[in-house]
């Protein structure tokens, strides 16, 4: 009896698996007109969805725009978007599928560092260009020939924070970071770069990324007489920190990371968010940039198009996907072919490429292309993002944190 059932199961399994007839098999178009296949792995669901959802939307928007304009060198782009659910094992499985079955030229994404590191070697071995939207330094260092990333460097963000602190005459910082990859990387960079900027990190604590109440952690900081609080995390902790600080009367400047890149977080923080300082790409203050700024046109256009199409606020995270699409399409255009080596070389030769995160200058040694000038120090004024204006060295610089 059991044998029959076993065979039945086996048969069912075989039917299901066989029934998935090659979805990646190319059509019958001629080589010159066949669409260029680009894969995209985003964390559209799961804990990384605040990254992956806007990234996927941006990528699709970009593809539609390119295809409407006739494609690249006459060939349209076929974007294969896959949801990894923020799980590295899924990222591996889907990446293999894209590489081996769909035979994509390049993969955009993934959204998080953990997923990227899981497929870094895979893409390198299979000579598939990987343009990641994740922030970890280890993605491009040690360097892999086919692996690139679009977000700015964490170390530059940390330097900006410390530079601004120094300008404000503050030296004692309390650092709180979330326990996800972004927070851990941030904590490391902050710790590493504080001494060279003359800043002392008095206390450094890591909290759970899903924490709903930070008053306890902040009370601990308050007890250490910190002059500024640096919070390196993503949503929802960012807005929470601002509010909690005010609620327990910890009235010192609050610095955030470039994870603060969406006006929603400002709204969530309400009044408490005013005065927050953070380094960020210029997307969020696109309108107030001078017209002569090279990024202005692109940023304003992206913002307008995204908000009109998706009826939601634009974020810097979606911008990383925009930059990735921009880089690959520009490289293909420049190389004039879809030969992997040529496109890869073309990426490394891109200079002065205006993107949302900054102006990219790639090289064989630099697979990120962005430097400190990609960031701008921003602040929040009256519930809106504004450029931070350096005040003259304050006489009353040291705000007393306790009453």
Partner 1 sequence: MRSLRTYAPLLALPAVAVGLHGVLAAEGDIARMTQLIMSAYYALVVIGLCLLMGYAGQASLGHAGFFALGGYVSAAMTTCNLLPWRQTTAVRLCEIAGLLIERKDPFGMPLLSFSPWAAFATAMLVCGAVAFVIGVPVIRLRGHYLAMATLGFGLIVYRIVLAAAVFGQADGISNVPPFELLPGLRIGGSRAWRVENYYIAWGAVMAAMLLAINLINSRVGLALRSIHESEEAAHSLGVDTYRYKLAVFVFSALLAGAGGVLLTHYNGSISPSEASVMKSVRYVAIVAAGGMANLWGALGMGMVLNYLSLRGQFGRYDEAVFGLILIAMMLFAPQGLLRPVDWSVVRRLLAGRARNG
Partner 2 sequence: MVWAQIVQYCLSGITVGSVYAIVAIGFNIIYNTTGIINFAQGEFLILGAMTAVSLAQVMPLWPAIACAVVLTTIVGGLVELLFIRPVRQASPLRLIVVTIGVSILMREGMLHVWDEKVRALPYFTGSGVSTVRVLGAHVSPQVLWVLGVCAAIVAGLTLFFRCTLTGRAMRACADDRMAARLCGVNDRRMVALSFMLSAGIGALAGCVVSPITQTQYDMGAPLAIKGFTVAILGGLGNSAGAVAAGLLLGLLEVFAMSQLPVAYKEAVAIVVLLLVLVFRPTGLFVRRESASLRTA
CB 198 within 8 A of CB 166: yes
Residue 201 touching partner 2 (CB under 8 A): no
**Bridge pairing between strands 147-149 and 172-178:** unpaired
Cβ closest to partner 1, residue 82 vs residue 320: 82
Residue 293 sits at φ, ψ, to 5 deg, of -70, 130
Q: Residue 49 corresponds to which tokens in the numbers above? A: 């969805």
Partner touching 82 among partner 1, partner 2, none, CB below 5 to 8 Å by kind: partner 1
Burial of 351-384, coded b for 16+ CB within 10 Å and e otherwise, reads eebbbbbbbbebeeebbbbbeeebbbbbbbeeee
Helix 340-349 to helix 316-335 angle, to the nearest 10 degrees? Answer: 120
Residue 225 touching partner 2 (CB under 8 A): no
Q: Quick one: which of 67, 126, 215, 225 contacts partner 1 (CB under 8 A)?
A: 126
Residue 86 touching partner 1 (CB under 8 A): yes
Q: Quick one: which of 39, 71, 114, 401 contacts partner 1 (CB under 8 A)?
A: 114
Q: Residue 55 corresponds to which tokens in the numbers above? A: 């990234």
Residue 399 touching partner 1 (CB under 8 A): no
Q: Quick one: which of 76, 97, 145, 220 contacts partner 2 (CB under 8 A)?
A: 220
Q: Quick one: which of 118, 190, 289, 343 contacts partner 1 (CB under 8 A)?
A: 118
* Region of 123-131, 216-224, 282-290, 298-306 interacting with partner 2 (CB under 8 A): 216-224
Q: Mask 44-63, x = binds partner 2 (CB under 8 A)?
A: -x-x-xx--x----------
Rounded CA-CA distance 190/193 in Å is 5
Torsion of CA 337, 338, 343, 346, to 10 degrees: 20
E strand residue ranges, 35-153 = 36-42, 77-83, 106-108, 129-132, 147-149
Residue 204 touching partner 1 (CB under 8 A): no
Rounded CA-CA distance 382/34 in Å is 51
Residue 364 touching partner 1 (CB under 8 A): no
* Region of 4-12, 31-39, 193-201, 384-392 interacting with partner 1 (CB under 8 A): 4-12
Binding site for partner 1 (CB under 8 A): 1-3, 5-10, 12-14, 16-18, 20-22, 44-45, 82-83, 85-90, 92-94, 96-97, 100-101, 113-114, 117-118, 120-122, 124-126, 136, 142, 179-181, 183-184
């Amino acid at each position: 009896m059991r044998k029959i059932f076993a065979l039945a199961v086996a048969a069912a399994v075989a039917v299901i698996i066989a029934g998935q007839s090659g979805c990646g098999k190319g059509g019958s178009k001629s080589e010159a007109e066949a669409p260029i296949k680009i894969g995209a792995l985003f964390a559209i669901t799961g804990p990384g969805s605040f990254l992956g959802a806007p990234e996927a939307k941006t990528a699709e928007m970009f593809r539609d725009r390119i295809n409407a304009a006739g494609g690249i060198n006459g060939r349209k782009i076929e974007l294969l978007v896959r949801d990894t659910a923020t799980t590295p094992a899924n990222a591996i499985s889907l990446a293999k599928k894209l590489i081996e079955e769909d035979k994509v030229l390049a993969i955009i994404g993934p959204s998080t560092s953990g997923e990227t590191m899981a497929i870094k070697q895979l893409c390198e071995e299979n000579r598939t260009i990987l343009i990641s939207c994740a922030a970890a330094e280890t993605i491009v260092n040690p360097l892999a020939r086919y692996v690139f990333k679009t977000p700015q460097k964490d170390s530059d963000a940390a330097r900006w924070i410390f530079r601004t602190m120094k300008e404000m005459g503050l030296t004692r910082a309390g650092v709180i970071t979330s326990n996800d990859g972004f927070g851990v990387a941030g904590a490391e960079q902050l710790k590493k770069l504080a001494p060279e900027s003359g800043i002392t990190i008095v206390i450094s604590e890591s909290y759970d990324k899903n924490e709903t109440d930070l008053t306890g952690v902040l009370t601990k900081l308050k007890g250490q007489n910190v002059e500024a609080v640096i919070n390196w995390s993503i949503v929802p902790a960012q807005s929470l920190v601002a509010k909690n600080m005010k609620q327990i009367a910890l009235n010192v400047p609050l610095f955030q990371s470039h994870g603060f890149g969406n006006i929603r977080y400002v709204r969530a923080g309400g009044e408490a968010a005013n005065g927050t300082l953070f380094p960020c790409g210029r997307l969020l203050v696109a309108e107030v940039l001078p017209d002569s700024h090279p990024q202005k046109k692109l940023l304003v256009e992206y913002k307008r198009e995204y908000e009109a199409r998706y009826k939601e606020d634009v974020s810097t995270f979606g911008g990383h996907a925009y930059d990735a699409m921009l880089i690959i399409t520009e490289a293909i255009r420049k190389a004039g072919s879809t030969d992997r080596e040529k496109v890869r070389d073309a990426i490394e030769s891109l200079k002065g490429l205006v993107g949302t995160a900054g102006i990219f200058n790639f090289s064989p040694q630099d697979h990120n292309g962005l430097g400190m000038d990609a960031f701008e120090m921003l602040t929040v004024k009256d519930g809106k993002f504004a450029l931070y204006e350096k005040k003259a060295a304050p006489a009353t610089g040291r705000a007393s944190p306790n009453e």
